[in-house]
Chains A and B, each alone.
Chain A
Amino acid sequence: MAVRKLQETNHSPDIPESWFSPLEKNEGDAEVVSRPSLSYWQDAWHRLMGNKLAMIGLVFLAVLSIMAVIGPMLSPYDVTKQNLLNQNMPPSSAHWFGTDELGRDVFSRTWYGARISLFVGIAAALIDFFIGVVYGGVAGYKGGRTDHAMMRVIEVLYGLPYLLVVILISVVMGPSLATIILALSVTGWIGMARIVRGQVLQLKNYEFVLASKTFGTKTRRIIRKNLLPNTMGPIIVQMTLTVPSAIFAEAFLSFLGLGIQPPFASWGSMASDALPVILSGHWWRLFFPAFFISLTMFSFNVLGDGLQDALDPKLRR
């Protein structure tokens, strides 16, 4: 505002005469205002912190993880311990989440289920990551014919109905935790491989451009400091979003009787067991596993969305 006022009145003679002598010769660039420059990760972290929903998800996940570790210990009842005198008891001070038809403590079983879910989700994400990085990396790095052939394979596999294959493998191998994780990995890595390949191609392109311009030793630094983080973004997001879909798949299999076998519990099998008694009003049998599985999926989904926004290089300023 002050400037504009001056502009209207600056014909006025009360500008000191000395102001009209030339300044020392300057070399330009004097006006470079340095704003604090944050590294990619700091910047992304700041933006993630700004995303309330993602932060809520992160907090929930922290709490869920802690409870998955200590939850079963907080309760005096073992996960598999039956107590036929205490069948289908509603939540009380003795059994915080009630009991099931064999008198087992739902609180213990719920947190045991949390262990299973989180373990399956994270294991599946890690395996997808490794296979995907190797496959996509090789395809993108080698390029040419190798890439072409490898991508055709992916195209064929892409048409495979994911859960159907998982069911088939579970049927063949017999239900167990290892089976579930293996079955999830058989088709799960495809998405990751595609992303990694795309990112590798992009990196190769940068490297080629930079190298051909002979920018000198700084090239590698640029790649490491700027480009590599940018390409990591989509991979991290993909991993975060793999977790809830693996958790869902485990619950789904357990619900169909192909997952965790009794007497052990998973959220899916608990929900499945609750089905026949739902009509008799034993709501806690369904409510607790259903609530926590939904909460976990919610948390991973909003965290994944938040990461996607935070890590998107397009949104950087």
Chain B
Amino acid sequence: MLPYILKRIGWMLATLWVIITLTFFLMHSIPGSPFNEERATSEAVQKNLEEYYHLDEPLFIQYVMYLKSVVTFDFGPSIKKSSQSVNEMLGRGFPVSFELGMATLVLAVVSGLLLGVAAALRHNGLIDYIAMTVAVIGISVPNFVLATFLIQQMSVNLGILPVATWASPRHMILPVAALATGPMAIIARLTRSSMLEVLTQDYIRTAKAKGLSPFKIVFKHALKNALLPVVTIVGSLAAAILTGTFVIEKIFAIPGMGKYFVESINQRDYPVIMGTTVFYSLVLIIMLFLVDIAYGLLDPRIKLHQKGER
């Protein structure tokens, strides 16, 4: 297990490095440096920028310095607000976004699994039919459409749920539902097909030949194997949820990181865009890593041949 983890961490760092480098050079390729005076709103900001980005040094030195500060978790200043650093924004926005993202992920995984297993066990039955209809709709309707629709129905027409902001658990219902539907649908479909596939495997027949009950066959023999392909996509779903928070936070006026990120995009606040991107990537890569570890725990074969293939 340990060499496997170390190897994974190696790949994580490589990916992270690619992202940082890509972000840095992309930002610097914007015609007329995005970090120069004309864009800065005040002298104080300009000073911060120069100090952080070492603008008087050659590009390569700037790059090395930037790498260094990122490694020490310093994501630099904002152009627009002199008093604010990216770190402060993250400190304020991240907890909210994290709450939204985690609630969504948990809801999506749990309900997706339940739906998928139920559909597979009632293959071609009514439950299967309903679950797959729900899933195909969930995949087809973009989250921002669903969010707006939910606001219109639940808040405007029926008035049973608050329209916006992040004040209480009741406020969480609509944004989480809007954000979770797509990933839930994907998980439900994948679980179903994976479960159906597993149920045709020889070892399931072996289990039946032992006289085990259907319950044991499904939950002891089939489920764990059926979960393997599902686990591999949780990482990319986390990415989808994370980017989904941008629009959801915008729509519901939730004071999370995504809202700051979208604002910084609209105001072309490049240092914030850059810092946030790197931070987001870090979060995602850690998610992918955790997913990999979970996979290794679920599948005993992984310890021996530690292929990166999925």
Contact = CB atoms under 8 A, between A and B. Distances in A.
A binds B: yes
Contact of A271 (B30, B144, B239): B144
B288 interface: yes
B18 interface: yes
B15 A156 contact: yes
Interface in A148-186: 151, 155-165, 167-169, 171-172
B137 interface: yes
A66 interface: no
A258 B18 contact: no
B247 to A, nearest CB: 6
Contacts of A165: 22
A272 B144 CA distance: 9
B18 to A, nearest CB: 6
Q: How large is the interface on A (under 10, 10 to 19, 20 to 34, 35 or more residues)?
A: 35 or more
A293 interface: yes
Contacts of A168: 22-23, 26, 273, 277
B265 A257 contact: yes
A256 interface: yes
Most buried by B among A151, A256, A268: A256
A161 B268 contact: no
A255 interface: yes
A89 interface: no
Most buried by A among B144, B151, B239: B144
Interface in B91-107: none
B9 interface: no
B242 A172 contact: no
A163 B243 contact: yes
Contacts of B233: none
Contact of B277 (A157, A164, A251, A255): A164
A167 B26 CA distance: 12
Given A286-B148, A294-B140, A161 B29 contact: no
Nearest to B309: A151
Contacts of B203: none
B219 interface: no
Most buried by A among B27, B145, B247: B145
Interface string B244-261: 001100110000000000
Contacts of B246: 256
Interface in A241-258: 244, 248, 251-252, 255-258
Contact of A301 (B11, B140, B247): B140
A161 B136 contact: no
A297 B140 contact: yes
Contacts of B251: 275
B268 A171 contact: yes
Contact of B281 (A53, A161, A275, A278): A161
A294 B141 contact: yes
A272 B250 CA distance: 10
B152 A286 contact: yes
Interface string A249-289: 00110011110000000001001101100110101001000
B142 A167 contact: no
A301 B132 CA distance: 12
Nearest to B236: A162
Contacts of B239: 161-164
A302 interface: yes
Interface string B20-46: 001100110110000000000000000
B284 A155 contact: no
B148 A167 contact: no
A290 interface: yes
B265 A301 contact: no
Contacts of A244: 140
Given A168-B26, A256-B262, A275-B148, A155 B308 contact: yes
Given A161-B280, A275-B251, A302 B136 contact: yes
Interface of B: 11-12, 14-15, 18-19, 22-23, 26-27, 29-30, 136-137, 139-142, 144-145, 148-149, 151-152, 156, 163, 239-240, 242-243, 246-247, 250-251, 262, 265-266, 268, 270, 273, 277, 280-281, 284-285, 288, 308
Given A290-B145, A295-B140, 5 more contacts: A160-B19, A164-B277, A164-B280, A172-B29, A255-B247
Q: 5 nearest interchain CB pairs?
A: A159-B15, A298-B140, A163-B243, A290-B145, A297-B140
